[in-house]
Amino acid sequence: MRCVTNGANGGERTDAGDLTPAQRDRVAAALADVEPGKGNLLPALHRVQHELGWVPRAAMTLVARRLGISEAQVYGPATFYSEFRLTPPPASLLTWCSGPTCRVLGGERIKLILEETLDCRLGENGPNDDYGLWLGQCNGTCEQAPQVWLNGRVVGKLGLADAARLARRLRDGETADAIAPPPADAVEIQPALVRRGETP
């Protein structure tokens, strides 16, 4: 159960702002071949997130209309599942792996060092939304533990000082892609991250 004030994606953004006409069109296009019916809710929300980088409240309304269900039936699951982002992702996302292998190798202290150095709690973004520190669920790349992900790329076998240095580079303005550049044959091993989320 994700508590809206303490979830992986931070507090819920309460703006009831509408989408821009261009965004409405993009969401409509993304949902065009989704058949009505409750069973297609998760695929529909995934498409919205893929298109916009997150799931704004206003987009939930469009999903509800498309599927022919109530907004409450969309809102409940959209806020229950932790992979749906209710706030725009930052340009540089630092994801801290919460898995047990990382834990037994010092992961909890790494979280503390990241929070203190970046001056934001887990689940929050830093000033200006330049970077964020979010919680990641174990993806089983435990040979790299303890680890974090920079825009989805694993930075592993971290010592405590390594974590502090990494956080300082982010805090001092380096981007995630500059610190851990993706190679030409980059393979996405984290859910696709749309780099710059758009606020309606």
Q: Lay out the site mask for other proteins across 124-163 (x = CB under 8 A, - = otherwise).
A: ------------xxxxxxxxxx-x------x-x--xxx--
Among 46, 65, 169, 195, binds other proteins (CB under 8 A): 46
Does 33 help bind other proteins (rule: CB under 8 A)? Answer: no
Phi/psi-derived region of residue 111, left when phi > 0, alpha when psi is between -120 and 50, beta in every other case: alpha
**Contact letters (x/-) for other proteins, 64-93, by CB under 8 A?**
---x-x---x--xx--xxxxx---------
Binding-site size for other proteins (CB under 8 A) equals 67
List C-alpha distances in Å: 48 to 33, 131, 148.
Answer: 13, 22, 26
41 is a contact residue toward other proteins (CB under 8 A)? yes
Sole residue written with tokens 């992900």: 149
191 and 178 Cβ atoms separated by less than 8 Å: no
Binding site for other proteins (CB under 8 A): 1-2, 8, 37-43, 45-46, 67, 69, 73, 76-77, 80-84, 98-101, 103-106, 108-109, 112-113, 116-117, 136-145, 147, 154, 156, 159-161, 164-165, 167-168, 182-192
